[in-house]
Amino acid sequence: MYVRLWRAAPAVLFAAAMMAASPAHSAELLDEIAPTGKLRVAIAISTAGGAFWSNKTDSGGYTGVPVDLGKEMAAQLGVPVEYVAYDNSGQITDAVPKKTWDVAFLPKDPVREAQMSFGPIYDVADATYIVKAGSTITNFQTLDQPGVKVAAEYNTTTMRGARAHLKNAKVIEYQTFDEIFELLKNGEIDAFALSHDQLNKMATKIPGTKVLDETFKKTVVAVAVPLNHPLALAFVTKFMTDARTNGILRKAYDNNGLKDAPIRTE
């Protein structure tokens, strides 16, 4: 089974996996994946829900699928976990050169692949738009018109997808989900680009809004580490591959309000 998992991987990555699994090389792995002595896990905070976002609790802690996965990953490494919170995945990407995090769980696209290395996909989301209450927009064609304002979160794969998809409407970036929620609620924007599941939840909180049935992009979410960290990449790849079969990923979903959500990897 192990050979099958790695059959398509480059030889250097396979060798790195062997090193990461060997006790003799555990110090090298820890130096690379947890250089501060803690596993610093980047998380994005929002009330949007789903398998990517995390939440801050009243006591100052965090909940979310990435939170649970990061905690288990640190336990397997034998180091404490530290969560580094951001407003969105774009800010996590911006922080790569600052070396403020060691592992992240975030949407993957070519722009980010130039800055970090990704392991297995653990979630797939279908992106669409929600339109404001009272809007005459009913589909992508009527949405993509001059003068239409579409919100998207800063520097995200969904934002880039929306800009590629819409030729006439204007896509405007905002830093937080909550900010966009209020703009949509007040009718100050015409639409918001995000996943079907998250927008369907938003629609229940803003009467009169409508989620369009079409899909303009599939967003894949995966574990990531900074570039040129082969031992770290090998470890997180094996961790996530195992998590899909040993129940860790399913438990993380179930613990965070996603008991009815299937685990989509493609």
DSSP state string for the chain:
-HHHHHTTS-HHHHHHHHHHH-GGGHHHHHHHH-TTSSEEEEEEB-SS-TTT-EEE-TTS-EEEHHHHHHHHHHHHHTS-EEEEEESSHHHHHHTGGGT--SEEEEE--HHHHTTEEEEEEEEEEEEEEEE-TT----SHHHHSSTT-EEEEETT-HHHHHHHHH-SSSEEEEES-HHHHHHHHHTTSSSEEEEEHHHHHHHHHHSTT-EE-S---EEEEEEEEEETT-HHHHHHHHHHHHHHHHHSHHHHHHHHTT-TT------
The pLDDT assigned to 266 comes to: 73
**pLDDT tens readout for residues 120-140:** 999 999 999 999 999 999 999
Q: Is the pLDDT of residue 8 over 70?
A: no
Whether 159 contacts 195, CB under 8 Å: no
Tracing tokens 């929620």 back to the chain, one arrives at 181
Q: Is the pLDDT of residue 9 over 70?
A: no
Tokens of 54: 């995390």
Distance set, CA 7 to CA 10, 13, 14, 205, 223 (Å): 8, 11, 9, 47, 20
Query: Exposure of 121 by Cβ count < 10 A (0-12 exposed, 13-18 middle, 19+ buried)?
Result: middle
**pLDDT tens readout for residues 95-115:** 999 999 999 999 999 999 999
Q: How confident is the model at residue 48 (pLDDT cuts 50, 70, 90)?
A: confident
Q: How confident is the model at residue 143 (pLDDT cuts 50, 70, 90)?
A: very high
pTM: 0.81
**pLDDT tens readout for residues 71-81:** 999 999 999 99
- Mean pLDDT computed over 213-221: 95
